[in-house]
Chain A
């Protein structure tokens, strides 16, 4: 699971009002190189929740992203884009879990696939 995915997901258990961002429980992180596509990244930069991405990348052991939401002009910097690219697309949570911030329910991540299906009594 890439952090792009993590940035899009929340806990949608019935009754949970603030299921985002999900905390990450790390068992195994891997890195996979991905083709660098500046247009896609610039587009995604406008969509991501920055704080969630920074926190998630730190929990995966990557601390190169600036803490505060960068100015939108920063996307013209190649250095920044590379870091953003790495954090968003190249870091994978291969094994672990996503944890609901409100109920601590764990959504397991195995073989890189997050299992977001709810139990019968969470619907």
Chain B
């Protein structure tokens, strides 16, 4: 059956991917969901029709979702209130009457997108629905049935972009609604222990939804930091495990009551099953261990706000400094130096570890930075691995120069030595062709270079001065 899905007007590129992931999480089998836009609506419209096999599924998706405001059974839609009345009257009685009975309670909520409605106007609109034979009693606090009157106006014509939605009025019965209360509870500003790149709560929950986190699953974050991603996974009932190369972050934090453990305690969540200091470049997992994590979720260091490090620091300066040997008497308390860890290598290691350690059907969810100049080349080139299939990619624009893309990958093939070798070759090829800017420092310089340097670099001042194409869809 077709349902109307109203989204919060945020993170537009993430919305459908989230609903599709949740559908799968709650048992939907099939190749993606069917979507349809209301007539004359831009793809950025908050209104989408989605075909779901059952009302139960629609409700569970809406309840768990971060970006779905509500899912509704539409009783009528129209460009004007007259058209709406006509449509509602034509909607089959057997779909309506059981929700209008005398022993039921209900309320009507008026919502608008792109305009503000006064309380008086809302009341008038509700009274205008008198042609619907409501027999039940009104209950504003805990009604059995909620009906929504949703109106959009020609929103956004004034900013030079095509309108998102044309004037449309929907009337429908609420099937399920989101619980955004979760976000103020988990917002970062009330979090005890924070790092400079802690993942904000909304995004962390989205990532957990993309990874199909549910109770009893084991979720791993190889760049755990202050644990902000694992907190979201733990909220959904997963067992969590995290590693970081910086021991001060995972072990000490800022004292006995301000560390990764306290971040879980703060929300009454079970502590991670393990936190350890390890290097994803040289993972310490026993060789016979494989297919143990149900999901790997992480935000790898891409060298813009925080750079990656890997072990074996001074050895990397071969030729200039002799390989460093730790004197025997200093071994116990030796603090090893670390070397730079460029993003392309980091992503390759991540895919390799995930290929081995994820269960079949497990998901790898991580952020991957993209320089926005690459937009013009059309298709983005995301890292590939023979064990994985890309499920979705959702872009969030961070500045005029770069954005980050949330990649969701599904493990479809078992990991073997041959595959690892093939992936390594593919990686080298990939690095050769696309990843120059992912090498150490390049992304950082592209993001932070002054405009002057960019002009000289492109040699075409006129072109560079042109304002970038607006794309609202990924801004909000």
Q: Are B315 and A120 in contact (CB under 8 A)?
A: yes
Using CB atoms, name the residue of chain A closest to B246.
A117
Q: Determine if B337 is an interface residue (Cβ-Cβ < 8 Å).
A: yes
Q: Are A19 and B245 in contact (CB under 8 A)?
A: no
Q: Are A20 and B287 in contact (CB under 8 A)?
A: yes
1/0 contact string of B202-216 vs chain A (CB within 8 Å): 000000000000011
- Chain A residues with CB under 8 A of B278: 116-117
Q: Determine if A24 is an interface residue (Cβ-Cβ < 8 Å).
A: no
CA distance A112 to B292 in the complex (A): 22
Q: Determine if A2 is an interface residue (Cβ-Cβ < 8 Å).
A: yes
CA distance A34 to B215 in the complex (A): 14
CA distance A95 to B412 in the complex (A): 40
- Chain B residues with CB under 8 A of A35: 270
- Chain B residues with CB under 8 A of A89: 273
Report if A117-B311 is in contact (Cβ < 8 Å); known contacts: A11-B284, A89-B273.
yes
CB of B139 to closest CB in A, whole Å: 37
Q: Which of B241, B289, B324 contacts A120 (CB 8 A)?
A: B324
CA distance A36 to B278 in the complex (A): 28
Q: Determine if B323 is an interface residue (Cβ-Cβ < 8 Å).
A: yes
CA distance A21 to B156 in the complex (A): 63
CA distance A9 to B283 in the complex (A): 9
Report if A5-B276 is in contact (Cβ < 8 Å); known contacts: A115-B247, A119-B334, A120-B314.
yes
CA distance A10 to B332 in the complex (A): 19
CB of B317 to closest CB in A, whole Å: 10
B interface majority secondary structure = loop
1/0 contact string of A46-57 vs chain B (CB within 8 Å): 010100000000
Report if A47-B216 is in contact (Cβ < 8 Å); known contacts: A119-B326, A120-B324.
no
Please report which residues of chain A, range 71-123, place their CB below 8 angstroms from some CB of chain B when the two chains form the complex. 89, 105-106, 110-121, 123
Using CB atoms, name the residue of chain A closest to B357.
A8
Using CB atoms, name the residue of chain B closest to A21.
B286
Q: Are A10 and B312 in contact (CB under 8 A)?
A: no
1/0 contact string of B240-275 vs chain A (CB within 8 Å): 010001010011100000000000000000110111
- Interface size class for chain A? 35 or more
Q: Are A117 and B325 in contact (CB under 8 A)?
A: no
- Chain B residues with CB under 8 A of A111: 251-252
Q: Are A8 and B286 in contact (CB under 8 A)?
A: yes
Please report which residues of chain B, range 288-340, place their CB below 8 angstroms from some CB of chain A when the two chains form the complex. 288-289, 291-292, 311-315, 323-326, 331-332, 334, 336-337
1/0 contact string of A13-45 vs chain B (CB within 8 Å): 000000111000000000010110101100110
CA distance A105 to B328 in the complex (A): 11
CA distance A31 to B172 in the complex (A): 54
- Chain B residues with CB under 8 A of A119: 326, 331, 334, 336
- Chain A residues with CB under 8 A of B285: 8-10
- Chain A residues with CB under 8 A of B289: 8, 47
CB of A17 to closest CB in B, whole Å: 9
Report if A1-B331 is in contact (Cβ < 8 Å); known contacts: A40-B218, A115-B247.
no
CB of A2 to closest CB in B, whole Å: 6
Q: Which of B215, B247, B252, B292 contacts A117 (CB 8 A)?
A: B247
CA distance A21 to B245 in the complex (A): 22
1/0 contact string of B74-97 vs chain A (CB within 8 Å): 000000000000000000000000
Q: Determine if A60 is an interface residue (Cβ-Cβ < 8 Å).
A: no
- Chain A residues with CB under 8 A of B337: 120
CA distance A44 to B314 in the complex (A): 39
Q: Are A1 and B216 in contact (CB under 8 A)?
A: no
Q: Are A120 and B287 in contact (CB under 8 A)?
A: no
Q: Are A37 and B277 in contact (CB under 8 A)?
A: no
CA distance A120 to B276 in the complex (A): 19
Q: Are A10 and B287 in contact (CB under 8 A)?
A: yes
Report if A121-B326 is in contact (Cβ < 8 Å); known contacts: A20-B286, A34-B270.
yes
Q: Are B336 and A10 in contact (CB under 8 A)?
A: no
Q: Determine if B199 is an interface residue (Cβ-Cβ < 8 Å).
A: no
Q: Determine if B239 is an interface residue (Cβ-Cβ < 8 Å).
A: yes
CB of B6 to closest CB in A, whole Å: 35
Report if A118-B282 is in contact (Cβ < 8 Å); known contacts: A4-B274, A35-B270, A39-B216.
yes
- Chain B residues with CB under 8 A of A5: 241, 273-274, 276
Using CB atoms, name the residue of chain B closest to A108.
B332
Q: Are B286 and A9 in contact (CB under 8 A)?
A: yes
Q: Are B286 and A123 in contact (CB under 8 A)?
A: no
CA distance A42 to B271 in the complex (A): 20
- Chain A residues with CB under 8 A of B251: 110-111, 113, 115
Q: Are B286 and A40 in contact (CB under 8 A)?
A: no
Q: Are A116 and B332 in contact (CB under 8 A)?
A: no
CA distance A47 to B285 in the complex (A): 13
